Amino acid sequence: LAKTTQPISMDSYEGQEVNITCSHNNIATNDYITWYQQFPSQGPRFIIQGYKTKVTNEVASLFIPADRKSSTLSLPRVSLSDTAVYYCLVVPNTGGFKTIFGAGTRLFVKA
């Protein structure tokens, strides 16, 4: 399983765009990049997943360069409610496996 590295914490202000970068140098060919969000006292929530290039949904965008050794989660115009921990995972697209969460990135959005 590929190991991921992401910043421990980030601060932002309401209305700004936030980009969280994750490195995964040992990503395998059949691995996908997946991001989860976790609020205090709740279980993680799936945000977005991608394989290469760019993926966008109603919550975020995910940018993946051609070598796939890193990825960037982009949160547009954050609000106070986006304060949470964000986890980057590298997983096989078939599911059903040992899933490794790192410590995540603690995003704090200020007014």
Partner 1 sequence: DTGVSQDPRHKITKRGQNVTFRCDPISEHNRLYWYRQTLGQGPEFLTYFQNEAQLEKSRLLSDRFSAERPKGSFSTLEIQRTEQGDSAMYLCASSPEGDKPYEQYFGPGTRLTVT
Q: Which residues bind partner 1 (CB under 8 A)?
A: 32, 34, 41-46, 49, 85, 87, 91-104
Minimum gap (Å) between residue 29 Cβ and partner 1: 15
Minimum gap (Å) between residue 14 Cβ and partner 1: 25
SS (H, E, C) the chain: CCCCECCCEEEEECCCCEEEEEECCCCCCCEEEEEEEECCCCCCEEEEEECCEEEECCCCEEEECCCCCEEEEEECCCCHHHCEEEEEEEEECCCCCCCCCCCCEEEEEEC
Q: Between 51 and 63, whose beta carbon lies closer to partner 1? A: 51
Q: Between 24 and 32, whose beta carbon lies closer to partner 1? A: 32
